[in-house]
Every structure is written in structure tokens, then in C-alpha cells.
């Protein structure tokens, strides 16, 4: 997936599409009016921009994603680690966990991911 920077409002819009896809563009306008207090032109402008970025598509008035929510947020997380922590996952985890108490469930999940990776899996 190519680098896909989204403004916060574009990300909220994409979340709406992911939650409702496939969705008729007219229905999307109604959802955005209710959820974001947007008028029709705003919805279509943001939709067009996200279609141009290759995230969404609008085919015959039906809006759907070209990149799944999981793929998008996975790539975004990787980009944060790369940009902010020089690609060091341990540095990211240390920063994330500092000052935050991890639950036993969190620690167990992280340990399971590490164990799976050591066995040749890919975690989640």
C-alpha cells in the first residue's frame, strides 16, 4: 500500500465508509449529515479526494473501500514506528508502555504474539 496520509476528518469519513460499506452515495450523504453535520457537497468533495488517493471507490453510485480498515491502520502504525522511533518497535513499545499499567491480559497477548513470531508465525 502506498503512503496514505489522511487528515483527521478524512479518517473519520473513511471509518464511516468502512462501517457501512458497500453504501449508496446518497445514503453516505445522509450518514455524513447526521454523524459529521456535513452538507452534500462536502461529502462528495472528501469522497472524491479519498478516491483519488486510492483508498475508496465510487462505482455506479456505490461507495466501497479499496484498502481495508485493518490494512490502513496497520500501515499507519508502521509509519508511526518508522517516523517517530527510527523503525524500532522495541522503542515504540517502551514509549507506549511508559507510565501506563499494562493488564495481565495485555501482557499475555503481547507474549503470545512474540511466541508466535518466534515459531515462524506473524503474530496477529
What's the pLDDT score for residue 3? 56
What's the pLDDT score for residue 90? 86
Provide φ and ψ at 63, rounded to 5°: -100, 130
Contact present, 31 and 23 (Cβ < 8 Å): yes
CATH architecture classification, 8-69: Orthogonal Bundle (1.10)
- CA proximity to 45, closest of 56, 24, 20: 56
Residue with cell string 499499567: 101
pLDDT exceeds cutoff 70 at 123: no
User: Which pLDDT band holds residue 41 (cuts at 50, 70, 90)?
Assistant: very high
User: Which pLDDT band holds residue 21 (cuts at 50, 70, 90)?
Assistant: very high
Please give the Cα distance from 12 to 108 (Å, whole number): 31
Strand partners, 62: 24, 59
pLDDT exceeds cutoff 80 at 5: no
What's the pLDDT score for residue 4? 64
Q: How much of the chain, in percent, has pLDDT values that exceed 70?
A: 94
Average pLDDT of span 100-121: 86
Q: What is the 3-state secondary structure (H, E, C) of 57-93?
A: EEECCEEEECCCHHHHHHHHHHHHHHHHHCCCHHHHH
What's the pLDDT score for residue 57? 98
Q: What is the pTM of this model?
A: 0.73
User: Which pLDDT band holds residue 35 (cuts at 50, 70, 90)?
Assistant: very high
pLDDT exceeds cutoff 60 at 124: no
Residue with cell string 504474539: 113
Q: Which three cell numbers stand for residue 16?
A: 464511516
pLDDT exceeds cutoff 90 at 95: no
Q: What is the DSSP letter of 4?
A: -
Amino acid at each position: 500500500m502506498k503512503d496514505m496520509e489522511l487528515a483527521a476528518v478524512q479518517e473519520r469519513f473513511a471509518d464511516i465508509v468502512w462501517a457501512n460499506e458497500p453504501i449508496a452515495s446518497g445514503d453516505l450523504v445522509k450518514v455524513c449529515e447526521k454523524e459529521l453535520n456535513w452538507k452534500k457537497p462536502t461529502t462528495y468533495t472528501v469522497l472524491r479526494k479519498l478516491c483519488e488517493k486510492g483508498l475508496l471507490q465510487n462505482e455506479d453510485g456505490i461507495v466501497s473501500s479499496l484498502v481495508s480498515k485493518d490494512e490502513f491502520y496497520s500501515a499507519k502504525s508502521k509509519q508511526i514506528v518508522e517516523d517517530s522511533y527510527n523503525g524500532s518497535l522495541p522503542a515504540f513499545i517502551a514509549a507506549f508502555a511508559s507510565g501506563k499499567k499494562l493488564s495481565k491480559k495485555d501482557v499475555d497477548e503481547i507474549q503470545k504474539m512474540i511466541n508466535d513470531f518466534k515459531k515462524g508465525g506473524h503474530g496477529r
